[in-house]
Structure 1
Amino acid sequence: MTTDGGAGLPGAAGGPARHLPVMLAEVLAHLAPKDAGHYVDGTFGAGGYTRAILAAADCRVLAIDRDDSAIAAGAALVAAAGGRLTLVHDRFSRLDAVAAEHGFAPLDGVVLDIGVSSMQLDEAERGFSFRRDGPLDMRMGSDGPSAADLVAGLDEAELAHVIWSLGEERQSRAIARAIVKARTDAPITRTAQLAEIVARVVWSKPGEVHPATRTFQALRIAVNEELNELGAALVAAEAALRPGGHLVVVTFHSLEDRIVKTFLANRTKAPSASRHMPQAEGPAPSFRLLAKGAVEPGPEEVARNPRSRSAKLRAAERTDTPAHPGGDVRGLLPAPFVQRQGRRR
């Protein structure tokens, strides 16, 4: 996720970035780019992290994004990087395969900035935000069902489940009931329509988030299969990183952070042993933590960019232990999400 109106970085390839990424200094400190290193920016967006990595060391970066517009906008940065940047249209859940295909494996570092970008939020036609009326789309790519398709096609129980499990919205049943009632009168195809429907059901006090915030979050996550993508990307990073390589992940809400925290807790845990069974069971840790707990943005950054206020950074270093067997991402995801979601387009 990026901020608005960043001035870019002096000396970064390609000139000033349109947007400044969240927690940039903290990301670079934990990623620790080095000369001749191979790095993956799994969420290229406006290219802020990529620019900074290229400026920090004489390294190569493989940047991945599923958004066609981000790929097109990054062409100038690719040209300016003098062969040090490869930009690929793909999902970051495939970062290990993409790195191998483009001659980047094994990797010295992976950075993931999870969630929707400011550019996407600010473009009404993308349908991510209720603050600007536009088509109810929310797709980060150009394939698969849109948010309007989910709103039109899911039954009341399914809608309530999505809004509750992915948006953590306590009024999910009332919202789902209101959506189903409204769509019998007319199709819900605009962001303003949906926001108005939700606002009639969910009351908020002055200073609180907009009543539709959690519902829009839930639909966006469902449309883009974001939690499945994140779980798969963590497993892919484990497979692709060389010993000593760094993994840095920035998340923006509790569901994402919970997945990263659970993954790292599992991968940094030592095998268990007891006096009855002195030989330790289970694989040795494949990561060691670089930061104890989550790193959060400082007050100056939050004041400058309110969108960063919920950001959390977690980082770890790859050990020389082989990747843990059985990298099934379902063990990382909230149980309700696994039951309803998990299908691939």
Structure 2
Amino acid sequence: MTLAVVIPARAGSKGVPGKNLALVGGRPLLDWTVEAALGAGCVDRVLVSTDDPVVREHVTATWPGRVRLPARSPATASDTATTESVLLDVLGTPEAEGVDEIGLVQATSPLLRAEDLDGAYALLHRGFDSVLSVVRQRRFRWELAPEGGRPEYDPAARPRRQQLAGHLVENGAVYLTSRSALVRTGVRISGRIGLFEMPEDSYTEVDEPSDLVIVDALLRRRERPVEPARGAARIQLVLTDVDGVLTDNGMTYSSDGSESKTYSARDGKGFELLRRAGIRTGILSSEDGAQIHARAAKLKVDALRAGTADKLADAKELCAKWSIGLDEVAFIGDDVHDVELLRAVGLAACPADAVPAARAAAAHHCRAVGGHGAFREFADAILAGR
């Protein structure tokens, strides 16, 4: 059996404009569900159905060759189109050829994990025709009756919330069914339906701007294991670009024309941890300005090359100064001017939102975007690999 997971990512969200690429937990919203689907052992194909050229570009750059992008009919991208219409539309594309089972995963449920998909799929094959994910809510529920409020518990013997049996509600994260059932019924779930219970914190779906704040906090609270960077044991020097790595590429201008940028305190801790481990650090930037020098001083970097036109030459100069080879240098960059050095060093990395050329040259792809902890993530990966 071949299982394809479909992730709809329509451009025209009214509740949260641009929500598919809105940052939550340090990376675009869409990335969380795509990564969960790619990490699930049961999933054979991941298909992102979108009418948004920006989303298509992001998917192509982030998961080249791993995620498919079927053409989406305009009729399925309207405000009134159903999700079922999207699924049926996908089934008619070449990308879904040979698919026996369909999984609907919604980008608005970033708390989904790969193990949830695998668990739901295992349940599907225990005699069910369809499976959907649910969350158990333990609340003191009331009903409004003609005579007034009617509780579903005894107020005279009020239980603790944890003692309530609770009720199950859909969390919108996962729906699984067969291709034949979807085509026959036109709905995502049918027949004998299994309920896969997910953790209570996965209840929140991103439908309103306030939901982004909630899931951002929940995602950041999760302990995600650090993946050791390959080749980190030999690294003696870690270099980084500024714009797009230590910042999010944004610029703010005051009334007098002076420029300012925002840096991540989490990245600052990464420099400190590398320094404690005896690893030198340096900043290479084609830009120059007082704020870069101030940030470099705050970070206590061992080298700063601001306004540089040749980062590879600067790296070679630092290697000669400290008697190390380029194979002992790690560098994280995000744009085309970083590619030459990314190809030359022993360990190359890029933020999640790096341009395609930089991603292709980097061996280590961070989950965080520039300015939101990408350098810290790279530093942790280096330290974990030593």
When normalised by structure 2's length, the TM-score is: 0.25
Find the structure with the greater CA-based Rg.
2
When normalised by structure 1's length, the TM-score is: 0.27
